[in-house]
Amino acid sequence: MQYRILADVTVVVHLLFVAYVVVGGYIAWRWRKTIVLHLAAVAWGFSAVLVGIECPLTHLENWARLRAGEQGLPSSGFIDHYLTGVIYPENAVGLVRLLVAVAVVVSWVGYGVIVTRRSANRVAA
């Protein structure tokens, strides 16, 4: 039972991480110091998707599910299992990846504008 709970908690943490990759740059508009964490999250998330680096959260979930007597995730991984075909259609993977990249870039551009404006306001004052 405890391994099943660990696996389920890992899924929630993994979903939160994926959400943070998408919206973390916008969070940094309010809390500027979090941009460093977001840069690291994006680097990890994009390299996991584009290069195929195995995520430790996927590994932890598989380990816990196997200990609970369940099947682990398919070799395609967390996103393909929980999001593709569930949150968005399977034939939209390329579009979703593009939209995520655009959301991240827009958040970083907005962050840069905010930081520049705040710096200009300090100099003017």
- Token reading at 4: 């099943």
Ranges of each domain in the chain: 2-124
- Residue 112's identity, in one-letter code, is G
Nearest by Cα to 41 from 64, 57, 60, 63: 57
Q: What is the pLDDT of residues 16-71, one digit of tens each?
A: 999 999 999 999 999 999 999 999 999 999 898 888 888 899 999 999 999 999 98
Instruction: Identify the three-state secondary structure at position 84.
Output: strand
Distance (Å, rounded) from C-alpha 92 to C-alpha 101? 14
DSSP class of residue 88? B
Alpha helices (H) along 68-92: 78-82
- Token reading at 10: 């890992």
Q: What is the pLDDT of residues 77-124, one digit of tens each?
A: 888 888 888 889 989 989 999 999 999 999 999 999 999 988 887 777
pLDDT for 83: 87
pLDDT for 75: 76
- Give pTM, 2 decimals: 0.88
Distance (Å) of CA 123 to CA 29, 30, 110: 20, 20, 20
Confidence of residue 9 (pLDDT cuts 50, 70, 90): very high
Confidence of residue 73 (pLDDT cuts 50, 70, 90): confident
| pLDDT greater than 70 at residue 125 | no
| pLDDT greater than 80 at residue 76 | no
